Structures are given as C-alpha cells and as structure tokens.
Structure 1
Amino acid sequence: MGCGPQNPYGFQLVVYRDGDLVYGDVTFDERHIGAPGLAHGGAVAAACDDLLGFTLWIAGTPAVTRSLTVEYLLPVPLHQPHRVAAHIASRDGRALHVMGTGTGSDGVTRFTASAVFITVSADHFAAHGDVSGFGELLARFAATAQPSPDSLGGAT
C-alpha cells in the first residue's frame, strides 16, 4: 500500500538523504480518508513505516519492521503536504531504533513515530518473499546522498 512507484494507490514518496537524515513529503487525499477531511491513522502509520524504512540507506543494510509506534499529536488534514523526516537514533546489534516526525507546510508537527527495524540477509527474503529486485535494493543502499529540494510540496 505505501511504497512502490508502480502502485497507483501508493504514496508515491520521493525520499531524499541529507547526511544522517532521510525525508520526503506526503500529501494524504480521499484514498486515505478517516474522518471527513482528515487522514486515517492507518494511512499515517503506513507512510511512517515507509519513510522510516528509508533510514536503511544510512544503515547500509536491508531490514524489516519489528515494531512501529505513531503518536498522533493533531489531526492530519487531507490535501496538505507533510514532511516526514527520520534518523537512526541508535543501533543495538541487529536492531535499528529509528525516530521520525511529520510536519505540515505550516510548520506544525502533527505526528511522530518510532520504530525498531531488524537487519536481515537476502536469505530472509528468499525464504519469505521475492528476491528478484534485491540487487536493485542493495544498489540503492550504496547510493550517495541525493540533492535536497528547496521546499515542501512537490514530491508526493
């Protein structure tokens, strides 16, 4: 639901790396509605899981989500871009502890997220999924930082 440019119902996130930070802009719409005019909490959580997962660029390893906690600070309006930014707060063996925030173009932080990702090898995906795109995934982890856009709103 969240990721993948081939998924017409996905968030179509364009994610950037700036040192130890990854970020991207998401705009929720009628596909993500909860209460009238507001994003569903599950859609917000999916966007957080997707974006926080891009910290694996920084860690340089594939991993899977063990846990995700989202703190909903304020309602998230539809049709307003929110920048979701994340960083690895700490690493304990195979566990990556990641923190993130979701801030609207008005400067208001409406949600925060914390997650634990567990690093895995390609064997994990071979046993439980499809490894056909794994080489491309590893190449993405090795990629250098991408240029930063100047403002919110154009990369959802």
Structure 2
Amino acid sequence: MIPRSLLFGRGLALSHAFSNQNASTVHQQLSMTAWNLRSSLRNIRTLSLMSLWPFNVKPRDFSLPNASWRPEMSKAYEYYNALCEIEGDEKRRLWRKLPSYNRVLKYTTGGVYLSKIIQSKARLFTRNIKEPGAAFEYVVFMNKQEKRCVCVFQAGHLLEGPPGHVHGGAVATMIDSVMGTLAGYMSGPVMTANLNINYRSPIPLGSVVLLHSALDRVEGRKFFVTCRVTSTDESKLHTEATALFVSVNVGHLFGTRF
C-alpha cells in the first residue's frame, strides 16, 4: 500500500507548482511522483513474491546416503535402517531413523505443534555445509522403547584437529547433539546443563564411528544421559561421555515465558 503521506505531500507540491504556473516544476514533480509510484508497486510485488520461509519450504534431509559416504558408512546405515519400523507393518519395529532437520522436534513429546512453527530449515547447525563429506556426515537411529539411540558418524577433512585426526571439539559437538537428541526425543525441548567427556583414543580423519547414547535415569526435569563413541565393529573405544539435560518450556526457546 502506498503511504498516504507520500500522496498527500506530492499533492501539495503539485498544487503549489500549478499555482505558480511553473511548467518545469510541474513536470519534475510529475516525474518524481510517477517514479515513487513505480517504486512502491515494485516493492509491493517483491513482498508478494517473497517466500514465507520457513512455512512453505519443504526441508531437505541431509541424513540420507550420498556419494561421499564410505562403504563402511553405507553398510552401518543399511544395517540400522533395516531395523526401522515400516509404515503399515503390524509388528511395528522398535527403531526409527530420524531426519537431520527439525532438530527431531516433531518427534519429541508435545513437539508436533511447535514443529509447525519452526520447522523447515531448523536443522542441526552442522548441516549448513553444502559440500558432501566435507564435515559432519551422520544419521541417527532412535529406539524409544529401549531409551537409546545410535548415530553413524563420518568426519570430513574440515574437522581436522591433530594432524590426520578429528578435532576434539567436533567430537564433543556430535556427542552433545546426539545425547541432546535422545533426551529431547524422550521429554520434549531440553538444554545441556552439564557435559563431561573422556577422550580415550583419537579418531582418524575420514573414518566412520558409532555413537551409542542411552538414557540413564530421570529425576524430575533432569535427564542423565551416557554416550560411547566406538569403531563400527565396537572393538575400539574412542570417547566416553555423560551429560545432564534439563527440560525447558517453549518460552525459554524464544527468550520469553509463556
């Protein structure tokens, strides 16, 4: 909508110009008015064509196989994916593959409504890297009945810390993300209150590891979670961790209280 002040101001200017019978001024004012009208119409058209992100954009799931996955990554994916429930299957298997967007929000307790508000591109922050295999390649499989999950993780070259090995901060990022995913899946929105990590052996860059996370116990709003990072055959332990997550209400996520 064109501001009334714009039209009113131009009208006064034109009236003044006509009263002085200044043809040159009238022409200039008319040109400026026409320019402003075209500009306003362009702005309106631009707004009308703007995407209402994040509400009308279908999010992309980055936890699906791609060409950067090593055979070991694909094999582990296929193994756990075969355990997942199949829609319409009467037996309803225990495992479920989680998408890499939405922070698995719509699958958490009470999260289905909130996910409609902040869905779309609200993925784990590690998924903002477009180059496949450059950083965090991972997929999470959840077993809600057994209160545990497994993450298959492949570290790319951008995550190098010690020469030829994964940076400890990148390992901590994955541990926190996976443990938080489990706690959130079981309770709804949570935040990390405490995270303790013991590094046992470095992870070679480009290798594939498994993150085994389990819910240890619940005390009111507190969720105690454990995690083990191992080789895919589970013969080698790379990292161990424990964490405390606290459930929060929706208001905390938006910096307010409902």
Q: TM-score normalised by the shorter chain: which range applies?
A: 0.7 to 0.9
Structure 2 equivalent of residue 34 of structure 1? 161
Once the two structures are TM-superposed, the CA of residue 87 in structure 1 deviates from its matched residue by 1.0
Q: Is the 8 A contact 1:94 1:119 kept in 2?
A: yes
Paired residue for 1:3?
124
Q: Residue type matched to 1:47 in 2?
A: M
2:141 is the counterpart of 1:16: yes
**Is the aligned partner of 1:119 residue 2:244?**
no
User: What is the one-letter code of the residue matched to 1:3?
Assistant: L
Spell out structure 1 runs of 4+ moving beyond 3 A.
none
Aligned-pair CA distance for 1:6: 4.4
Question: How far is the alpha carbon of 1:111 from its aligned partner?
Answer: 0.4
- Would the alpha carbon gap of residues 6 and 100 (structure 1) be closer, same or farther in structure 2, given more than 3 Å must change? closer
The answer on whether the counterparts of 2:218 and 2:224 sit within 8 Å (CA) in structure 1 is yes
Identity within the alignment, %? 25
Contact 1:4 1:12 in 2 (8 A): no
SS of 2:254's equivalent in the other structure is: helix
Q: Cα deviation per residue 1:69-101 (whole Å; 9 max; x = unaligned)?
A: 111001111111110011110111111110000
Deviation string, structure 1 residues 19-54 (Cα, Å, up to 9, x no partner): 311111111122111111111111110010011111
Cα distance in 2 for partners of 1:123, 1:45 equals: 27
How many residue pairs end up in the alignment?
Answer: 127
Q: Do structure 1's residue 67 and structure 2's residue 194 form an aligned pair?
A: yes
Aligned pairs (5 A) from 1:1-156 = 3-4=124-125, 6-8=127-129, 11-18=136-143, 19-107=146-234, 108-127=236-255
Specify the code of the residue in structure 1 equivalent to 2:124.
C
> Against the structure 1 CA distance between its residues 36 and 106, is the aligned structure 2 distance closer, same or farther, given a 3 Å change threshold?
farther
Give secondary structure in 2 for the equivalent of 1:53.
Answer: helix
> What is the TM-score normalised by the length of structure 2?
0.46
Higher strand share: 1
Q: Specify which structure has the bigger relative contact order, considering alpha-carbon pairs within 8 angstroms and separated by 6 or more residues.
A: 1
Alpha-carbon deviations, 1:117-155, whole Å to 9, x = none? 010010001217xxxxxxxxxxxxxxxxxxxxxxxxxxx
For the aligned residues, what is the CA RMSD? 2.0
